Amino acid sequence: MSTAINIAQVHKYYGNLYALKGITLQIERGEFFGLLGPNGAGKSTLINIMAGLTRANGGRVSILDHDVAKHYRFARRCLGVVPQELVFDPFFTVREVLRIQAGYFGLGPENYAWIDELIDALMLSDKADTNMRALSGGMKRRVLIGQALVHKPEVVVLDEPTAGVDVELRKSLWAFIERLHNEGHTIVLTTHYLEEAEALCDRIAILNHGQVIALDTKEALLARDIGGKRSLHVTLARPLDPIPSALRSIVKKELGYEIVFELNNESVSILDVVDSLRQAGATILDLQTEKTDLEDIFIDLIQGKAS
């Protein structure tokens, strides 16, 4: 068995809103998988179906071969889910919340050492005996991550775990999630920070309007042709006025000494730009091209342009 999560033809309606239009995806064991897409694409709906919190109207989902609808308890035991929404009982302390959660899986004091390890790894040691209501938003999110991991699930699904989390904490959360991945956990992550998905994920699915519009390795996605577009940043010794007419149509941004051109393979080359600028009497101090990143690919896919 090498498939961690098997999603086959999953459909979901909320009334007459068609939220998932037949999703089919396999996530392999040990993968670091990214689930990306704009607001409302259906990511959380899919995750809630995996977690058995929402029922699909059609299709099936299994976690390590346990069907989430038919064998809910087995499937649930293999899975740790960090939900997008922060929901807590405010009257329990961090340690109590984690112990109660472990209790749902039939785990008692034999699991306390692991809970302490989690508290430590999530940098919550000095808040372990603080009531949930007295934690900041980022700290609450760390407790949610702890809750998902109390039973050491093989498959960990994180729905925007870093939303609203400061830069430093985000970095330490990523280090922790990477550690889990290195220890053999399968990780599924949704995030709106595309540079994070680019840094962490092996494979990425992009959802839009309830459909998978791209599913590929990160490398293959980044190698996609998005019309040969790239940016050329030019720094000049003096502002150039006017910009040569041959170049005006490709100016993306102009800030005095700095001009950003958008190049398209078919029309104007870097050399054409340099020649035109020189002929216009400009002195070029610096030239930089910007390579495609996941954000460019994402935007093109969402707008339906990429191949």
Ligand X SMILES: Nc1ncnc2c1ncn2[C@@H]1O[C@H](COP(=O)(O)OP(=O)(O)OP(=O)(O)O)[C@@H](O)[C@H]1O
The contact pattern for ligand X, residues 82-121, with x = CB under 6 A and - = no contact, is --x-------------------------------------
Contact range with Mg ion by CB under 5 A, out of 15-23, 39-47, 73-81, 298-306: 39-47
- Which residues are CB-neighbours of 249 under 8 A, at least 6 positions away? none
Could you say which of Mg ion, ligand X, none residue 41 binds, taking C-beta under 5 to 8 angstroms by partner kind?
A: ligand X
Q: Is 219 exposed, middle or buried (0-12, 13-18, 19+ CB in 10 A)?
A: exposed
Could you say which of Mg ion, ligand X, none residue 39 binds, taking C-beta under 5 to 8 angstroms by partner kind?
A: ligand X
| Measured distance CA(297)–CA(231) in Å, rounded | 14
Q: Do residues 96 and 130 make contact, with C-beta atoms less than 8 angstroms apart?
A: no
Which residues sit opposite 287 in a β-bridge?
A: 234
- Applying CB under 6 A, the site for ligand X has a residue count of 12
**What is the smallest separation between the CB atom of 203 and ligand X, expressed in angstroms?**
18
Select from 5, 23, 33, 43 the one that contacts ligand X (CB under 6 A). Answer: 43
| Measured distance CA(154)–CA(65) in Å, rounded | 13
Select from 7, 25, 27, 41 the one that contacts ligand X (CB under 6 A). Answer: 41
Which CB atom, from 44 or from 62, has the smaller least distance to Mg ion?
44
Which CB atom, from 85 or from 183, has the smaller least distance to ligand X?
85
Select from 54, 84, 130, 231 the one that contacts Mg ion (CB under 5 A). Answer: 84
3 contributes a contact to Mg ion by CB under 5 A: no
Beta strand 155-159 pairing with 79-82: parallel
**What is the smallest separation between the CB atom of 81 and ligand X, expressed in angstroms?**
13
**What is the smallest separation between the CB atom of 8 and ligand X, expressed in angstroms?**
18
Which CB atom, from 41 or from 63, has the smaller least distance to Mg ion?
41
Contact range with ligand X by CB under 6 A, out of 35-43, 95-103, 106-114, 264-272: 35-43
Contact range with ligand X by CB under 6 A, out of 38-46, 170-178, 249-257, 259-267: 38-46
Select from 4, 23, 34, 45 the one that contacts ligand X (CB under 6 A). Answer: 45
Select from 19, 37, 44, 98 the one that contacts Mg ion (CB under 5 A). Answer: 44
Q: Which residues bind ligand X (CB under 6 A)?
A: 14, 17, 19, 37, 39-45, 84
